[in-house]
Amino acid sequence: MEATRRSFKKDFLLALAADFKKHGAAAIEKVRKTQPAAYMKICALLVPRELQVEHSGGVKAMSDEQIETAIEAIKAMLEARADEAAKVIEGTAEPAALPAPNGQSSETALEPSPLPKSKHKPNRLMLEADTEVGPSERKPGKGRVPSPPGA
């Protein structure tokens, strides 16, 4: 059974390679144009999931000349960044505010509105709390046997 599987795999890969040599570039181009999502998925699957970065000697392995060259390059990058940051538009910010509702002054508009009149004293805790209620789970009444799940 194993020999048959290996033979089939070998024959399949040889046929696939031959077909790819004939039509591969055209097929890739067709997929790229007609199914860009599938094309990108194939590209992503070909990229390794983990990229291993190995730390080499670093500064200790560099010669004095290499270190000086690196320092000069860093200084040049910092100067270029400083030049970009120096291009600031001068100006002053002016405060802008929307008019208060119903023609109120800005001080009275910021005060909380009075509570509605009622016979009962308002519950301050409930006024401050988020009172949104989600769907409640149905519970069986007394003396009833709940039906089994999935029935």
Burial 99-117, CB ≥16 within 10 A → b, else e: eeeeeeeeeeeeeeeeeee
On whether the CB atoms of residues 115 and 122 are closer than 8 A, the answer is yes
Is residue 5, in this structure, part of any structural domain at all? yes
| Overall pTM > 0.85 | no
Take residue 38 and report the two structure tokens written for it: 């599938």
Is residue 64, in this structure, part of any structural domain at all? no
Is residue 10, in this structure, part of any structural domain at all? yes
Q: Which domain holds residue 15?
A: 1-48
Mean pLDDT of 15-21: 91
pLDDT in tens, 47-105: 777 767 677 777 778 888 988 998 999 999 888 887 766 666 677 777 777 766 666 66
Residue 18: predicted pLDDT: 92
Is residue 12, in this structure, part of any structural domain at all? yes
Total domain count, the chain:
1
Is residue 107, in this structure, part of any structural domain at all? no
Q: Quote the CA–CA distance of 26 and 34 in Å, as a whole number.
A: 12
pLDDT in tens, 109-136: 566 666 666 677 766 666 666 555 555 5
Is residue 38, in this structure, part of any structural domain at all? yes
Residue 61: predicted pLDDT: 81
Q: Quote the CA–CA distance of 102 and 106 in Å, as a whole number.
A: 11
Is residue 24, in this structure, part of any structural domain at all? yes
